[in-house]
Chain A
Amino acid sequence: MKSIDKIRHFWHYFKMDTPLFLMLITTSVFGLLMLYSASESIGLIYKQILHFVIAISVMLVIAQMPPYLLRRYSPYLMLFGIFLLLLVLLFGSSSGGAQRWLNLGFMRFQPSELMKIIVPIAIASILSEKTLPPKPLPVLISVTAIIAIVLLIAKQPDLGTSLLIGASGVFVLFFSGISLQIIKRNNWLNFAVIVGAIIGSGAIAWNYLLMAYQKKRILTMIDPTLDPLGAGYHILQSKIAIGSGGLLGKGIEQGSQSQLNFLPEHTTDFIFAVIAEELGFLGVLLLLCFYGLIIYRCFLISFESEDTFSKLLGASLTLIFFTYVFVNIGMVSGLLPVVGVPLPLISYGGSSLITLLASFGIIMSIRKHKTPSYLSKF
């Protein structure tokens, strides 16, 4: 075989959605550029490029796996994830008052990251067993599982992540068309159980799981000027950064808020403020366009997929991606409390990037494995 044929052959079997891939790469390059501007050392950029290489590899590997494999093994994945979370609670290493990591010796590993993917897979798997809309029993099982996992993660404590993971499960329920159907059938008992469970867990969370600093975060969001050097300081400084960016921004590496270190965590959670300060309102709109294109593409893929599991999984992974974007920008611009959610594809950091691109890997796999003929091959 000629080498060109070899490549063609490989390409034929290589599962990758090129438009989505290009969108992701564009956004990531944009992110690296901003990270370069925000960081003091070039070493940080090299590290982040390495993170990208690993994350893209993971994405492409996952893209090669057909979705039904995930579905088949979802119970085991779920049990494995819960097992890891219990391990964290029992043996996890802690940092900054939170116990979120498992120390594997060569690296620290955050099982809650894994749950960001496992939970939607598992819920989608449960709900797609029977035809949509789901029956009360799978819904009840799903809700119980979601609450259990949310509580486990919130106990670490990691409120932001636990709520987002809970949301990813709820999104699957949402796409399955759940609530309306339940009400329509007058199945008030089940509905009451679900609502009661949600309210109850919320109350438990506020009373027992929220630490003082978390409550304070929520309160200072309401008026950050109350405590300019305390908890509200981050929000105040990032609002100053965003607001002083204006329409066109101060220019790359010209943002005084970030360059002079007034802006805290400006390479991680608060990098959006750097973008807003240095590129202005137009730069921010550009970034939102990137995200919008990615979301549109992913929804399209989910819509066009032919099995319920893929539809539910793809759509909820996309919605959770948007939720990350919304929560991060909302938090940095002072709309939401500071919960520690990175800006997808932009913020510095390895593990969240890997999980994120892994979920895009699943979406690519949905795209490429949609036809029954493909499925039959496996």
Chain B
Amino acid sequence: MDKISNPALENKIFSNRLILAFVFIFILTLVLISRLYNLQIIHYDYYTEESLGNQMRLLPITPVRGKIFDRDGKVIASNQLAYRLTLTPEKTKNIDETLLLLKQYDFINDKDIGVFNKNKKRYKKFHNIPLKHKLSEKQVAEFLVSNRFIGVDIETYFHRTYPHNDSSVHVTGYISRMNKKDKAFYNKKNYLGTSFVGKTGIEKQYEALLHGKNGKKQIERNVTGRVINTQIIQAAEKGADLYLSIDLELQKKAESLLKGKRGAIVAVDTTNGEVLVMVSTPIYNPNWFVNGISHKNYKKLQTSKDIPQLNRTIQGLYPPGSTIKPMVALAGLEQGAIVTHTETYCPGFFKLSNFKRKFNDWKRSGHGVIDMKGAIAQSCDVFFYELADKMGIDALHDGLAYFNFGQKTGIDIPGERGGILPSKAWKKINKDEPWYRGETLIAGIGQGFMTTSPLQLAVATAALANKGIIFQPKVLKSIQIHGETIKEVEKGTQRQIPIKDIHNWEEVIEGMKLTIYAPKGTARKLNKGLKYTLAGKTGTAQVFGLDAEEQYIAENLAENLRDHALFTGFAPIENPQIAIAVIVENAGSGSSKAAPLAKAVLDVYFNKHPVQ
């Protein structure tokens, strides 16, 4: 040991320094304590929330979509347990590499990758993003065995299926992946876990009912994202099951009748406006859209001249042709332009005074002396030219407006169009031209500017049958909210056509009856073996105007310029139950091309509901 030369000084220096060190330690400890106080006491709430956010995450539970049934409870749309591949970007080391590997193993293709990359941005952090829907069982097995894709999982979900494929597609519609517009439109909170949404038809109309209410679950995770605990905070509420007024059996019959043709068949219940049949052809497969439609199929649908996606029953606007005549007749009776026994002579044409042009009757030889009922039954054009001319276009418009022509029926299927019921005012507004007298004549036989949808014809025909009640047609019959009993929904609105003489209905109906039963009735062929009474009206609507002297010869015309074949009718006459409208585009004569289809559908109906 060295000798300590000046212990007193050394001790003093050391003690001073020790005290200094103590002060130093004390101050730094205070710094630490104040820091911890700041974190643990002052900002406790903030960090508590941060720590909860770390481990807990609220995730939506997607509700099971409601099913759709026909009126007899046959399944039209349902859900199937399926498997889908999902990827969580935060859990995947290299997304592109993983996608490439998945492609190599044939789990996904380039299109799936494209869709994934597009969708990616829409999801929140730590969400598993769907990569491929509806894996085959083989793929599921292969995936589970391979077990080499980190961040890629298989999860179950309910896949929408339409078991009857293309049948009733225009009624049911389809669901498909939500696009940007859908995302903006639907309630964000309720659609957090939803990726499919109704795009057309009932699926779109009743999206709110079908979708249900999504639930919430809280998952607790560790840092690798592995779920270690799941707690359901709010269970999802299943969407409501819908029962349509549609009769699938009739529907399929109608579809088979129209197979290979462009056309539409609509039938409504004359007592309440329920839609029994609503067929538009060509039909297409809604299942395509659920899986993500292939480019080929989509192009086919889009470019087809037959426009399969057009719901002709509500969006197809056709000149009604002669099917309008009973309504014109009623308007004439009501407004006193004719009386029941008014007769006219039909030479086969009608000529206005100081007017060059001749207005031909479809029957060039003429019908001779004919009264109103006969004019309906034999579809005499001259009688209605004269009547229309006498009434004038505005009176004709008012009379037909009672039957809801020119306005939407208000059916519960999106996309309906109202057609045109012309008047002087209408022409002024839309064409900026004065009304010509000749245009009144052809309006009287349902040609010219006038257009109607098949549904409008069916609803107007039903109003004839039930003597003046215009129903708002409705496809939804009843709903079953999860856990409750099936309940009928409210019927559509109804409205009575004002009538001066109640017998006028019977006069017009008599004319329609004669169409079927009179020896000269245009649809007389239908009465053979008829097990019910039927009243109807045929129509052959010109697609374009022929010159006065020209003879209509179907074979000479391009297919799309040929006449549309129409038929409207109802049955039974005494106690009407069903009204029907048929149109077959460019098929020619209504009596031969449309009327038999109506009868075939009605036969099926009355087999099911025999007349006592």
Contacts and interface: CB of A to CB of B under 8 A. Distances in A.
Interface of A: 68, 128-133, 174-177, 237, 239-247, 256-257, 260-262, 276, 280-281, 284-285, 288, 292, 295, 299, 302-303, 307-308, 311-312, 315, 319, 322, 326, 329-330, 333-335, 375
Interface string B41-55: 101101110111011
Contacts of A128: 2
Contacts of B37: 281
B15 interface: yes
B9 A329 contact: no
Nearest to B20: A174
Contact of A261 (B25, B31, B35, B223): B223
Contact of A242 (B20, B36, B55): B36
Interface in B339-383: none
Interface string B78-112: 00000000000000000000000000000000000
Given A176-B13, A244-B47, 20 more contacts: A130-B5, A131-B6, A176-B17, A242-B36, A242-B47, A246-B41, A257-B54, A260-B54, A260-B221, A260-B222, A260-B223, A262-B55, A276-B40, A299-B21, A307-B4, A311-B14, A312-B14, A330-B35, A333-B36, A335-B31
Contacts of B48: 243-244, 246
Contact of A247 (B16, B22, B35, B40): B40
A247 B42 CA distance: 10
A246 B44 contact: yes
A177 B44 contact: no
Interface residues of B, number: 44
B224 interface: yes
Given A174-B21, A240-B50, A244-B44, A260 B228 contact: yes
B2 A284 contact: no
A132 B9 contact: yes
B50 A315 contact: no
Contacts of A237: 54
A315 B44 contact: no
A295 B23 CA distance: 13
A262 B228 CA distance: 14
Contact of A375 (B1, B40, B54): B1
Report whether over half of chain A's contact residues are helix, strand or loop; otherwise say mixed. helix
Given A257-B54, A261-B223, A335 B35 contact: yes
B25 A322 contact: yes
A243 B50 contact: yes
B232 interface: no
Contact of A241 (B10, B29, B51): B51
- Give 10 closest A-B pairs by Cβ, nearest first: A243-B47, A177-B13, A244-B51, A131-B5, A260-B222, A243-B39, A261-B223, A281-B40, A244-B47, A132-B10
Listed residue (A128, A247, A285, A311) with the most chain B CB atoms within 10 angstroms of its CB: A311
Listed residue (B9, B20, B32) with the most chain A CB atoms within 10 angstroms of its CB: B32
Contacts of B16: 177
Nearest to A280: B40
Listed residue (A174, A240, A302) with the most chain B CB atoms within 10 angstroms of its CB: A240
B28 interface: yes
A133 B13 contact: yes
Nearest to B3: A131
B293 interface: no
Given A131-B5, A315-B14, A256 B21 contact: no
A133 to B, nearest CB: 6
B54 A256 contact: yes
A316 B251 CA distance: 97
Nearest to B15: A303
Contacts of A334: 35
B54 A240 contact: yes
A242 B33 CA distance: 12
B55 A256 contact: yes
B600 interface: no
Contact of B10 (A131, A260, A280, A330): A131
Nearest to B31: A335
Contacts of B18: 175, 299, 302-303, 315
Contact of B14 (A129, A177, A280): A177
Nearest to B50: A240
B32 A333 contact: yes
Given A131-B5, A243-B47, A295-B25, A175 B40 contact: no
B41 A247 contact: yes
Contacts of A322: 25, 28
A315 B14 CA distance: 9
Nearest to A282: B40
A246 B39 CA distance: 8
A247 B37 CA distance: 9
A239 B35 CA distance: 11
B2 A276 contact: no
Contacts of B44: 243-244, 246-247
A303 B17 CA distance: 11
Nearest to B16: A177
Contacts of B17: 174-177, 315
B17 to A, nearest CB: 5
B14 A284 contact: no
B32 A175 contact: no
A288 B32 CA distance: 10
A256 B370 CA distance: 95
A246 B10 CA distance: 46
B10 to A, nearest CB: 5
Given A132-B13, A240-B51, A243-B46, A262 B223 contact: yes
Nearest to B39: A243
Listed residue (B33, B51, B224) with the most chain A CB atoms within 10 angstroms of its CB: B51
A239 B39 contact: yes
25 contacts: A68-B1, A129-B2, A130-B5, A131-B10, A132-B13, A175-B18, A175-B21, A240-B47, A242-B36, A242-B40, A243-B46, A244-B44, A246-B40, A246-B41, A256-B52, A281-B40, A284-B36, A285-B33, A302-B18, A319-B25, A322-B28, A326-B32, A330-B35, A333-B35, A335-B35
Listed residue (B17, B46, B228) with the most chain A CB atoms within 10 angstroms of its CB: B17
Given A281-B40, A333-B35, A131 B4 contact: yes
Contacts of A319: 21, 25
Nearest to B47: A243
A335 B32 CA distance: 9
B14 A132 contact: yes
